[in-house]
Amino acid sequence: MTRTTAATICVVTGTDRRTTRDFLDRLEHELSPHDNVVLLAGESVGPARPAAWRVVSARGELRRPKDEEQPKTRPAVVIVDDRVDTVAGWVEVLVAALADPSIGAVAPRSNWADGDELFVGIPYRPDEHGPRRSFQREIMESARDVCTEAGRLCGPCIAVRRDVLDRLGGLAAVVARGFDPAGLARQASESGLRLAVAEGCYLHHPGGPTRHPDPSRYGEPLVSACLIVRDEQANLPRCLESMAGIADEVVVYDTGSVDSTVQIAEDAGARVLRGYWDDDFGRARNDALAACRGQWILWLDADETIACDDKAALRAHLARCPTDVESY
């Protein structure tokens, strides 16, 4: 390890012994000599480890071997759910981000999050370990040192400065309240520090949108915008522009335009279906729908525009939406 800043890794358990054991085996390769690890666990959870590995019980009590001091919190504190699938170098990336004194909390990208770190449109299926690992490595290689500003963090992993925890009463007080990444991020922000997403680190969590998926959907767009049009050159540019940042693809079903509607749509990157009009809207709608690949379909008329103050939040909500919700 080339990392010089020591870290306390707080592992949130609560699943099964094998999951915890597998996570700790992977974690050992990420530790520097001055790191320490605590487990937030029930009384019976937590495989035996060397004395440097401390256990935090479900009641928030720091348990330790006899004649040794309570483990000291290192300058960087990483709190992580033991169910995540990690990638080599992930701890180093998160701790390195905190080297910027203006950043109080940083989170990795993840498929399972309620904050700005949510990664929408994962390019692999849940059961594909190889493609998932390749994706994690590609992100690490391409954006290892890149951090972007965030307004909210709430996912399976967060790294914070020790002084942020100290304002909340220290590590023992924080874990006694339970794993609350949003609360930690909020405390950092209220202290005048920035929140960030580490773009070079992606952690997959099995309990998010990939828990009960239709495997054939993964790798497909999240949102398809769909329009049925004819001679809409005056309205179409504004409509298409309003979809930017919301729709992954735009499908335009043209029923016989004689103006520049088709050219405008194609120049904007839309997929144009050259159809026809036979006074059967249902038939035209079904033909257009059949060409959409998204998990959600956004229906508009060409003279309509989308007004949305936070497009990223809208997409994040749709990505997390339960599968039994069919429409809004």
Contact, 272 vs 266, CB < 8 A? yes
What is the mean pLDDT of the segment spanning 137-153?
A: 93
- What pLDDT score was predicted for residue 295? 83
Q: Nearest to residue 122, comparing CAs of 140, 110, 108?
A: 110
Which secondary-structure segment (H or E) carries 37?
A: strand 36-41
- What pLDDT score was predicted for residue 65? 43
Which secondary-structure segment (H or E) carries 7?
A: strand 7-12
Of 33-47, 94-108, 167-181, 184-198, the one with minimum mean pLDDT is: 33-47
Confidence of residue 111 (pLDDT cuts 50, 70, 90): confident
Of 66-75, 113-122, 195-204, 257-266, the one with minimum mean pLDDT is: 66-75
- What pLDDT score was predicted for residue 313? 81
pLDDT digits (tens, 9 = 90+) for 154-198: 889 999 999 988 888 888 777 666 677 888 898 899 989 999 999
Residue ranges and CATH numbers for the domains of the chain are 7-214 (3.90.550), 220-320 (3.90.550.10)
Distance CA 29, CA 170 (A): 27
pTM above 0.85, yes or no: no
**Helices of type H across the chain:** 17-27, 90-97, 129-143, 162-167, 171-176, 181-190, 236-242, 261-267, 281-290, 311-320
End-to-end Cα spacing for the chain: 49
- What pLDDT score was predicted for residue 70? 55
Sign of CA pseudo-dihedral 249, 155, 112, 146: positive
Contact, 251 vs 284, CB < 8 A? no
